[in-house]
Homo-oligomer: A and B are copies of this chain.
Amino acid sequence: MSKSIPHRIYLSEDDIPKAWYNLRADMKEKHDPMLNPGTGKPITEEELYPVFCKALAHQELDQETRFIEIPEEVRNFYKIYRPSPLCRAYNLEKALGTPAKIYYKFEGNNTSGSHKLNSAVAQAYYAKAEGLTGLATETGAGQWGTAMAEACSYFGLDLTVYMVKVSYNQKPFRKAIMETFGATVYSSPSDTTNSGRAILASDPNTNGSLGIAISEAVEVAVTNEGKRYVLGSVLNQVLLHQSGIGLESVKAMEMIDEYPDIVIGCSGGGSNLGGLVAPFAADKILGKANPRIIAVEPVSCPSFTRGKYAYDFCDTAKTTPLAKMYTLGCGFQPSANHAGGLRYHAMSPILSKLYHDGYMEAVAVEQTSVFEAATLFAKHETILPAPESAHAIRTTIDEALKCKETGEEKTILFGLTGTGYFDMVAYAQYLDGSMTDYVPTDDDLKPGFDSLPQIG
């Protein structure tokens, strides 16, 4: 064990980035523009104003500004829980017997339990600064909703959360924590919106989906003058706000004279992965370094590995702008046996473009193997990971074991996005053997692909 590198590398408060990094400014080819589904033309900032507050609409479309200053009020909030630690997984390395050096950027040390708070703080701040009264959003596993509830409580905004029905029923404690922070939480689909009522009418027993919940939240925003919609992933603005994860990782690794050979992150909509890899992807694009970048997704929701690179809606009711993404189709419904998040039908346009252009790899992993990795990690590193984060752990372990075979001392960095305290039902299913894997057949994926709009 190297004595010179501590188990936990903490930066100082002054090391919290002063600006977010906008990877798009350094991409040689920009991702295809978001389209107005009515006109088929690139959407304008003004067309986004009914959905997003102005500052965020601007950030969503800004492909040019390399660094965007973080408002002081946002940095003040960040100081409560950031910088997050970069951790050396000495004990996991020892348990695996690998010569690889494993680092993880741990984003779970805040009450929301995940990295989601990084963007929630920013989105709530801009809404408050523009004089809005409230926000509406969706949540799946509950981490994003909790983060938004915290941020809205802090800045004094109302929050309405549409929680995917299957999670709402499985995770009553997630609901309680959001309510502790003052949020109003509905099971989605709900009878509080037209889109929710329509889906309930056609399928009363639906489990719900992120796509449906997004439709409901967007509807609340566009039909209430003082409210706007916020989303915890996929969007360019979210990846921007999450870039602090990557920037802090670079700074911490510089302190210990390290640079990763492999960067690994779980990918649902891409918020964590996009934030973690931003500076490393830039190094690849700019020819400064050539780390492998690996996205890890569930086999049951395989946007990268089995999706199509196509224009699609971000929601099920087809009310949002169109984005060019790796997608399973906005009509895709994830299997009910799927634990945790990473259920979204599509992938961040920025990450989709990076993947399409060969800057990034993707692998899909089965959930029982994910929980096996999670349990091993917990026993040796004493942090119980969120199931989402455990996807990255699975692939990290796989890569570390390859190093064991080859003898290579690779440096691996992965994103430990959050903790699994609210996922004990899934852990219990893994422990008692009742957890199953689900690999969709091509026929299973067909309805989703059939739902793709005929555009682009």
Contacts and interface: CB of A to CB of B under 8 A. Distances in A.
Nearest to A91: B80
A240 B2 CA distance: 30
B109 A431 contact: no
Contacts of A384: 111, 177, 180
A6 interface: yes
Contacts of A205: none
Contacts of A8: 13, 79-81
A179 interface: yes
B80 A176 contact: no
A86 B383 CA distance: 20
Given A13-B8, A421-B422, A180 B380 contact: no
A173 B171 CA distance: 11
Contacts of A150: 378-379, 382
A172 B176 CA distance: 16
A32 interface: no
**Interface size range of chain A in the complex:** 35 or more
A419 B8 CA distance: 20
A424 B113 CA distance: 14
Contact of A181 (B13, B378, B424): B378
Nearest to A181: B379
Contacts of A382: 77, 80-81, 110-112, 117, 150, 154
Contacts of A306: none
Contacts of A378: 111, 150, 180-181
Contact of A424 (B10, B117, B173): B173
A420 to B, nearest CB: 9
A455 interface: no
Contacts of A375: 180
A305 interface: no
Interface in A1-18: 6-8, 10, 12-13
A311 interface: no
Given A8-B13, A172-B424, A177-B421, 18 more contacts: A6-B12, A77-B382, A80-B381, A81-B382, A110-B383, A111-B378, A111-B382, A111-B384, A113-B421, A154-B379, A154-B382, A172-B428, A173-B425, A176-B431, A177-B424, A181-B379, A182-B379, A419-B421
